[in-house]
Chain A
């Protein structure tokens, strides 16, 4: 099983550029999440989805958009990148009702210069 796959693994953007991060899961999970990880701040939820075609804002949604056109894919877009968006981005997925936690991808390290 591949689990959760994130692409790309690394990216450098110039301020104002846009990009899309792709997350794909093969576990038939209903829920999918995008987090960012910054030193000393743990994980902060950007956006999440409870099913195909639905998305919702998390704790730090500004500057990001998401889409979930297919159950297995969750895309995170940066419309106009800013240096404050330099971070490591993690995608995760989970079942609807079960309490057995999240499965995480290996992360995308994004630097905005």
Chain B
């Protein structure tokens, strides 16, 4: 069945780059997403990539998509303490439904 997997924790130092990885199973995915959830809040869409793209850059964020390996990554350059949050990978399957991973909790050490 459809599944999205990501590691649960990542710890980085302030100023370093963070790379959060995700794998998915549905080869018919049309869009892939990264959402950010801060404590006590809902998910907020950070960025997304269409499945026929390899890379998308948006300021400090870089998304890489390896469709052959069904691997998605989010790189945050110059990570700040304000980037501490849970990051969810998600894939939109052939219809309109979106499957979410369990989330990666990013800790940024000052």
Nearest CB in chain B to that of A38: its residue: B102
Chain A CB within 8 A of B60 CB? no
Chain A contact residues (Cβ within 8 angstroms of B): what range?
20 to 34
Interface size on B, residues (CB 8 A): 24
**CB of B3 to closest CB in A, whole Å:** 11
A94 to B92, CA, bound (A): 12
Interface of B is mostly: strand
B48 touches A102 (CB 8 A): no
A48 touches B97 (CB 8 A): yes
Which single member of B4, B42, B45, B102 contacts A101 (CB below 8 Å)?
B45
A94 touches B101 (CB 8 A): no
Known: A99-B50, A102-B43. A43 touches B96 (CB 8 A): no
Per-residue CB contact flags for chain A residues 65-101 toward chain B (1 = under 8 Å, else 0) read 0000000000000000000000000101010100111
A102 touches B98 (CB 8 A): yes
A45 touches B97 (CB 8 A): yes
B96 touches A100 (CB 8 A): no
Which chain B residues in 24-71 approach chain A with CB under 8 Å? Answer: 30-31, 33, 35, 40-45, 48, 50
Nearest CB in chain A to that of B102: its residue: A42
A-B CB contact pairs (8 Å), 24 listed:
A4-B42, A40-B8, A41-B102, A42-B103, A43-B43, A43-B100, A50-B96, A90-B43, A92-B42, A94-B96, A96-B96, A99-B48, A99-B50, A99-B92, A100-B45, A101-B31, A101-B45, A102-B98, A103-B45, A104-B35, A104-B42, A106-B42, A107-B40, A107-B42
Q: Which residues of B are in contact with A by a Cβ distance under 8 Å?
A: 4, 8, 30-31, 33, 35, 40-45, 48, 50, 88, 90, 92, 96-98, 100-103
